[in-house]
Amino acid sequence: MGGDQAMSGTLYGLGVGPGDPELLTVKALRLLRAATVVAYPAPESGGSFARSIVAPYLEDGIVEVPIRIPITGGEPGEAVYDRAAAMLGSHLDAGRDVAVLCEGDPFFYGSFMYLFGRLADRYPVEVVPGVSSLMACAAALGAPLSARNDTLLVIPAPLPAGILRVRLAEAEAAAIIKIGRHFEKVRGVLTDLGIVDCARYVERATLDNQRIVPIDAVDPADVPYFSLILVHRRGAAWQP
């Protein structure tokens, strides 16, 4: 990937795992400690989840670049990533290595990919995979993601109910991500399909305040962004 500019810094996309700082990989930790500049997504005000995961490991003297992403209910505008790419590009041009933190894995719905899309043709880039929320939630539930030749569907909850219904009708196993304010719609679809009893809800997996709740017990007004639903239509298909 990228750059023939011998003097430029390297862009690292570091997967930092689902929340527990012990789920950072050895490689991500080494590169984090070596980076001069550490960038991370953050809300318009307040702290960054990705930064909080690596907070125990951050060295003094690093340059921190929060990438403030407005919570508009939709996808953040391209301008946010244009500005962030320009800012990180100036550090890379100056020969500084830049580590971009990404919760979970950078290439699994990770916002790092939008910086990668803007910078990878100009600079050396290394992507370090991370432990994804799907794996963390499966482990928390004690329920493998999918068994034997079952198909695993990964589907974002913001999609319209009709699309959720068609795709979930086909899958033996599913992970429904980005739930937040879409919980009620998702619960309705699962109920219509008769699979609500095959679904389980996990929020903030691997954190101290992790919660696993039956779908019927979830308060739709209190569903955080960092939650997902795993569906096992065939039940515990991994058992003998």
- Tell me how far, at minimum, the Cβ of 178 lies from ligand SAM, in Å: 4
CB neighbours of 22 closer than 8 A, spacing ≥ 6? none
Q: Which helix (H) or strand (E) holds 189?
A: helix 183-192
Q: Which is nearer to ligand SAM, 105 or 172 (CB)?
A: 105
Q: Which is nearer to ligand SAM, 47 or 95 (CB)?
A: 47
Q: Which backbone phi and psi does 201 adopt, to 5 degrees?
A: -105, 130
Q: Which residues bind ligand SAM (CB under 6 A)?
A: 18-19, 103-105, 108-110, 132-133, 136-137, 177-179, 202-206, 225-228
- Tell me how far, at minimum, the Cβ of 205 lies from ligand SAM, in Å: 4
Contact 183, 177 (CB under 8 A): no
Q: Which long-range contacts (CB under 8 A, 24 or more apart) does 49-53 make?
A: 49/19, 49/103, 49/226, 50/16, 50/101, 50/102, 50/103, 51/101, 53/16, 53/17, 53/19, 53/20, 53/21, 53/24, 53/101, 53/103
Q: Which is nearer to ligand SAM, 76 or 96 (CB)?
A: 76
Q: How far is CA 110 from CA 45, 102, 113, 171, 176, in A?
A: 20, 6, 6, 24, 15
Residue at shortest CB range from ligand SAM: 104
- Tell me how far, at minimum, the Cβ of 137 lies from ligand SAM, in Å: 6
**Terminus-to-terminus CA distance in the chain, angstroms?**
45
Q: Which is nearer to ligand SAM, 114 or 123 (CB)?
A: 114
Q: Which is nearer to ligand SAM, 60 or 208 (CB)?
A: 208
| Token pair for 33 | 């400690």
- Tell me how far, at minimum, the Cβ of 18 lies from ligand SAM, in Å: 4
- Tell me how far, at minimum, the Cβ of 131 lies from ligand SAM, in Å: 8
Q: Which is nearer to ligand SAM, 96 or 181 (CB)?
A: 181
* Rounded CA separation 68/11 (Å): 19
Q: Which is nearer to ligand SAM, 18 or 124 (CB)?
A: 18
- Tell me how far, at minimum, the Cβ of 176 lies from ligand SAM, in Å: 8
* Rounded CA separation 226/203 (Å): 6
- Tell me how far, at minimum, the Cβ of 61 lies from ligand SAM, in Å: 28
